Amino acid sequence: MTNFLQLCFAGVAIGALYALVALGFVVIYKATGVINFAQGGLVLLGCYLTYNIHQTWGVPFYLSILLAMVACALFGAAIERFVLRWMVGQPTFAVLMLTIGLLSIIDPAVTAVWGFDRLNLGDPWGIEVLKSGEVVFAVKDIWTIVLAAVVLLAFFLFFRYSSMGVAMRATAFDQEAAIAQGISARRVFALSWAIAGAVATLAGVMLAAGAGGVRPDIQYIALIAFPAIILGGLDSPAGAVVGGIIIGLTQTLTAGYQPEYAPWLGNGFNGVMPYLVMIVILMVRPYGLFGTPEVRRV
């Protein structure tokens, strides 16, 4: 039982990390209909910016996170203003390829500045743990779960009660109708990229905190989080969190029990299991657990 509880806590913590990454994808897709493959690059950049502000410039850690979030948000808005805005009206496939190209530019730019070595983020949580009976809770994992919950609540309040949140929902639903009502689609798009940049910084910090370290391969976590985004529904913040938790639990429980009960599946099967779960759920709900079904009239 202790092992099961330990694996469940680890799964929820990993799922919360995936959720933080996934929320950045969701906010852009919800406003613009674009799947942003450059989100992994924003995660990487936010992480290194926090490291640089804290460790190199000596700014207190929590203030460093806020400053890095602002910087990454401005960078995201700049991408929308100077790159994506020129692609309005172009085929979706071309926009997707452009975001992949952006990822290919951000990655070498970051490593050119900070190198390939694993760096110490200098976070206050380190490898501290709390214990309840025989179950061990890493302090960094607790913070990750709390942050994911806070960000989800902020998203809910923003989209439900703020005028800009309502404008983003209206633009996502019908861009032409929203413009006719006086909503600035350009402002909505820029804000969605800025929010994605800020959330990506939080995800990058939590990925690098503790024993993780600041390292270039952090961006690939965005690809691992992709099943969570599809599973929960591309346009649903709640779906991103639920999908992340499901994928995290699936990974850790498979890693914990598969070698004992199904060793014939081979090593590393826990990396395959999330995609199997995603396929099964999509066969039943093609738009994900919380995604909005798209209705086309012909």
Q: How far apart are CA 21 and CA 115, in angstroms?
A: 23
Q: Angle at Cα 36 formed by Cα 33 and Cα 80, nearest 5°?
A: 80
C-alpha 177 chain-centroid distance: 30
Q: Which of 228, 221, 247, 222 is nearest to 288 (CA)?
A: 228
CB 198 within 8 A of CB 110: no
Helix (H, G, I), strand (E, B) or coil at 129: strand
**What is the spatial distance between Cα 232 and Cα 241, in angstroms, rounded to a whole number?**
7
Return the SS3 of 135.
strand
Please give the structure tokens belonging to residue 170. Answer: 């209206």
119 neighbors 52 (Cβ within 8 angstroms): no
Tokens describing residue 208:
């690098």
In eight-state DSSP terms, residue 270 is G
Task: Give which of 257, 6, 256 is closest to 131, Cα–Cα.
Answer: 6
pLDDT in tens, the chain (298 residues): 778 888 888 888 888 888 888 888 888 887 777 788 888 889 999 999 999 999 999 999 999 999 999 999 999 999 888 887 777 667 777 888 888 888 888 888 998 999 888 888 888 887 778 887 778 888 888 888 888 888 888 888 888 888 888 887 777 777 777 777 777 778 888 888 899 899 999 988 988 888 778 888 887 776 777 778 787 777 788 888 888 888 888 888 888 888 888 888 878 788 888 888 888 888 888 777 777 766 555 5
Across the strands, what pairs with 129? 138
Count of residues making up the chain = 298
**Phi, psi torsion values for 118, nearest 5 degrees:** -75, 125
User: How do 135-138 and 129-132 pair as beta strands?
Assistant: antiparallel
